[in-house]
Structure 1
Amino acid sequence: MPLEYPYQDHPASGEAREIVPGVRWLTMPMGGGSLNHINLYLLDDEDGWYVVDTGLPLKEVQALWHELFLNELNGKPVKGVICTHMHPDHVGNAAFITDLFQCPLLMTHGEYYQARSFSGTGPGNHSSWQGEIFYQRAGMPKDYLEGMQQMWQKRSDDGFTMPTMPTGFQRLKDGDVLTIGGRDWSVVVGSGHSPEHACLHCKSLGIMLSGDQILPIITSNVSVFPTEPDADPLRVWMESHDKFMSTPSNTLVLPAHNLPFYGVRERLRELVDHHEDRMLAIEEHCVEPKVAKDLLPVLFKRKLDPRQMMMALGEAIAHLHLLMHRNRIERSLGEDGRYHFTSIDPGLDRRANPDRHEEPDDSPIMV
């Protein structure tokens, strides 16, 4: 069954649209590019509001927040900020809002401390020796890191670097229940896109705030980075999808990007099938040894800029690591200093489907 979209457009900037009494939806800009918005939410708790995710740390976004505080909160304060995960479009204004209202930040342990570590000083992936080794082993030339440094300088001007985080937080854990506005919101944690992503599910309303864990159109980035070069994020991402399949089928999903939708189980199956198809295509291309860079055309059809290349490599390596976990790919370090990946499953000929794969994605999206 196709997904159903009860809304045809997003709220105007500076406005909050009521989904049901006590739940409001607003949209903040994210600048140019293929993804130009983020959905944020307000939960009414009678004597104040909880903000769910906060947008990029841009002056334009903070001006819209001030406008919302004046016009959309019915004279009540913000009493808490809930961030689903640690990416800048979600935590970007957490310190700004919590400082303004002197209210707590609520996040999972893994997301808060990941955000804190990335908002500190020190070399990033693009300027460290770890990053140099990681990308060279993926098949990238040394001058690639120079292009990455220039790219990240531009991205910092666009608000895509980690902001300063609040100095403390209240920990959310899987299975916790937050009573807001007389209704129970269960914390459901997934992983893969980020370490410990929190979704909020209110069974009585039939609503889930899914953050980036479940999106209706785009596929969240699931990547391996130099900070944890042997990570297996796609495995836990797929396991999280199995977990979220227990979500009632009539749940209205309020995502961080695209439009609210019905059809959570159908979408989860689509996402699982998408990644399984990509992994099979990679296996077929690794009958002869390949480096990660060789596999980018399997996943993406457009020429990639340095930022997109970084994300695309991370996604390719994530697929390779799950295939290694399944004993379908083996990795060896060649004399050229690069990792070479080779298919080893004797049943590949039976499973191969070279003429019926999904078309490669246009390019990776910064989600």
Structure 2
Amino acid sequence: MRSRRRPYSEQRPTDVGGGVWSVPVPIPGNPLGYTLVYAVESPAGPVLVDAGWNHPEAWLALRDGLAAVGMDVREVRGVVVTHFHPDHAGLAGRVREESGAWIAMHEADVALVKLIRDVDEGAHRAFQADMLRRAGATGGEVAEVTAERPQPPALPDRTLGDGDLVDLPGRALRTVWTPGHTPGHICLHLEDTGRLFTGDHVLPGITPHIGVYPYDRTDVDPLSDFLDSLAKVAGLGSLEALPAHEWIFQDTAARAVEIRTHHEEKLLRLAALLAEAGEPLTIWETAGRMTWNRPWEELPAMLRGMAAGEAAAHLRTLEVRGVIRRTAEVGPVRYALHS
């Protein structure tokens, strides 16, 4: 029987065994509801896997949740962040202020944090607007979709690479680099218990956002990276998964295979969509014709922007595989099947 995602109101700090506790931290105003922050016990103090969104309500939930399982946030040794997104990295800086903890993240996401912190709000909005226009969005849509960005996360003190052990005395917590959702996304293999902290990489009921930004980049292929990362995780075996959202589940490998199959089917449907169109489509037009969890017209502006990023990632993979091509027309980039 498959579990279900429980609302935040039903979540409680929990001892999940093996010297690991989960603490649900809310994401105000977000349908995901909460991030599951994990505290891993060690003789030198606990290390957190992720930290949650930077918001007063979230901070109280983290602090009080740790206290409920017998931990003082001031004794936290470190925070290892699975990726730079604000629902994972947001409170890491606050924890560091309270405890002097180190913050660790994969080097590829550390580079992105530095970039984000160096770009002001005006430049960020200009970047978004230009990206949307090149994707084929209209002037009104550009104005509607362009959004304020969340507060940049704290700059980590330490970088992690694939295979590195996290500073967790008396235990073995190994970095597994799984790019796709972000360039520096990592899972963490707790080798002394046979468990895998999966971040957003492998979730039990949903799949993470895989996007290209700017939408028309030709130097990256994040969906292929993600598919390769899923195969890498599946190769670790049937580990118990401790994800950042939803619920803990068994057999990471089986779920990774399911998610790979989902995206391969999505790629086939996208190729068929382009064939049926009979003419080259912009990224924005393609996204508008794809199937989402609700009709395109009903998606909030921010979600339309994310849907376009997801469409772009799938188009990019089909382009790399030689299934589709970019046309040489002036104006927004367009895609068509190879003749």
| TM-score, scaled relative to structure 2 | 0.89
Contact 2:23 2:66 in 1 (8 A): no
CA offsets 1:232-276 (integer angstroms, 9 cap, x no match) = 111111111111111221x11000111111122221111111111
How many Å apart are 1:14 and its aligned residue? 8.9
1:178 equivalent among 161, 166, 172: 166
How many Å apart are 1:113 and its aligned residue? 2.3
Unpaired segments ≥5 residues, structure 2: none
Alignment of 1:326 with 2:326, yes or no, is no
CA offsets 1:119-168 (integer angstroms, 9 cap, x no match) = 3442467621x43342223221122221124xx24xx6xxxx033414x5
Taking only the aligned residue pairs, the percentage that are identical comes to: 25
| SS of 1:20 mapped into structure 2 | coil
| Residues 21 and 286 of structure 1: CA distance in aligned 2, closer, same or farther (over 3 Å) | closer
Figure out how many residues of one structure are paired with residues of the other and give that number.
330
CA offsets 1:31-78 (integer angstroms, 9 cap, x no match) = 234211111100111231111111110010112233235443445710
| SS of 1:26 mapped into structure 2 | strand
| SS of 1:67 mapped into structure 2 | helix
Alignment of 1:315 with 2:310, yes or no, is yes
The structure with the largest helix share of the pair is: 2
The residue type paired with residue 45 of structure 1 is: S
| SS of 2:141 mapped into structure 1 | helix
More relative contact order in 1 or in 2 (CA 8 Å, sep 6+)?
1
2:225 equivalent among 218, 236, 252: 236
| SS of 2:16 mapped into structure 1 | strand
Deviating more after overlay: 110-119 vs 230-239: 110-119
Distance in structure 2 (CA, Å) of the matches to 1:79 and 1:73: 15
Unpaired segments ≥5 residues, structure 1: 346-367
CA offsets 1:304-334 (integer angstroms, 9 cap, x no match) = 2210111000000100110010000000142
| Residues 120 and 102 of structure 1: CA distance in aligned 2, closer, same or farther (over 3 Å) | same
How many Å apart are 1:206 and its aligned residue? 1.8
Alignment of 1:49 with 2:46, yes or no, is yes
| SS of 2:172 mapped into structure 1 | strand
| TM-score, scaled relative to structure 1 | 0.83
Distance in structure 1 (CA, Å) of the matches to 2:246 and 2:35: 8
2:137 equivalent among 140, 143, 147: 140
Distance in structure 1 (CA, Å) of the matches to 2:118 and 2:212: 20
| SS of 2:115 mapped into structure 1 | helix
Distance in structure 2 (CA, Å) of the matches to 1:310 and 1:194: 17
Distance in structure 1 (CA, Å) of the matches to 2:21 and 2:189: 15
Alignment of 1:293 with 2:284, yes or no, is yes
| Residues 101 and 314 of structure 1: CA distance in aligned 2, closer, same or farther (over 3 Å) | same
Question: What does 1:74-223 correspond to in 2, within 5 Å?
Answer: 74=71, 77-123=75-121, 127-128=125-126, 130-149=127-146, 152-153=147-148, 161-166=150-155, 168-178=156-166, 180=168, 182-223=170-211
Alignment of 1:339 with 2:336, yes or no, is no
| SS of 2:159 mapped into structure 1 | strand
Residue in structure 2 matched with residue 349 of structure 1 by the alignment: none
The residue type paired with residue 186 of structure 1 is: R
Distance in structure 2 (CA, Å) of the matches to 1:317 and 1:114: 20
Alignment of 1:35 with 2:32, yes or no, is yes
The residue type paired with residue 330 of structure 1 is: R
Contact 1:11 1:26 in 2 (8 A): no
Alignment of 1:248 with 2:237, yes or no, is yes
The residue type paired with residue 232 of structure 1 is: D
Contact 2:83 2:105 in 1 (8 A): yes
| Residues 334 and 26 of structure 1: CA distance in aligned 2, closer, same or farther (over 3 Å) | same
How many Å apart are 1:228 and its aligned residue? 7.7
| Residues 32 and 272 of structure 1: CA distance in aligned 2, closer, same or farther (over 3 Å) | same
Contact 1:127 1:145 in 2 (8 A): no
The residue type paired with residue 241 of structure 1 is: L
Distance in structure 1 (CA, Å) of the matches to 2:283 and 2:260: 21
Contact 1:48 1:78 in 2 (8 A): yes
Contact 1:15 1:72 in 2 (8 A): no
Contact 1:13 1:64 in 2 (8 A): no
Distance in structure 1 (CA, Å) of the matches to 2:21 and 2:133: 47
Contact 1:132 1:142 in 2 (8 A): no
